[in-house]
Structure 1
């Protein structure tokens, strides 16, 4: 009696191969989005740090930060113009990785100024706030006071 040889592949083999490919794609997609989120957080941390350093430098020359804005820091060249700065001269804005402006606002808790930035969700806000002392989150907005602790 002759032995029959299988020709082609079975449905089970096709499904198994597709499921392995799907698992690999899911893992790669999750890694990509996680890396993107971490990159944005690092960029936002760097922006906040740059604004803090610029404000500290500005304060040493002017002794008062009450009317300080990001535009002032850019005009007086305390803050570098990077690809994240948009707008015409005199009305420039520093834009966060989430396409929202980074602003200096009045800080009621310390009678000074604070850096404010709108982020996409509370988790991102909490992760970003953990990098700065005195930072707080309020409705997806992180507020970081300009203080010596954060400089």
Structure 2
């Protein structure tokens, strides 16, 4: 019995030495990757209807957007149609100021933090005021939201 125990102890020591000697082998590999600044934006709706309006009537709606960015960012909005915009189209910026669209791009949000994987859900108030300068009819126009890196 003692002999079996001695043989078992000897074999255990040999196996431990073999295992220790193979555990000593290692290779270190340096991995490298460059991650660029990235932006993405999505809108819940692709169509927003203000309905039927009388002249000088104002209707307010909200747009639901999601932004993804791995760097601080700003959000701009611009009227992208051709010709004059009927009535007055406005968006509300993060300070609560209503900005009219039609002549140039407007900054709606500025210096926003990185969003992470889940993105940042935004609610952007939009309002339209009709005018006596607009001929009766149905109008369609487009606005475009753009995400850019904060400076």
TM-score bin, normalised by smaller chain: under 0.3
> Whose strand fraction is larger, Structure 1's or Structure 2's?
2
> Whose helix fraction is larger, Structure 1's or Structure 2's?
1
TM-score, structure 2 as length reference: 0.26
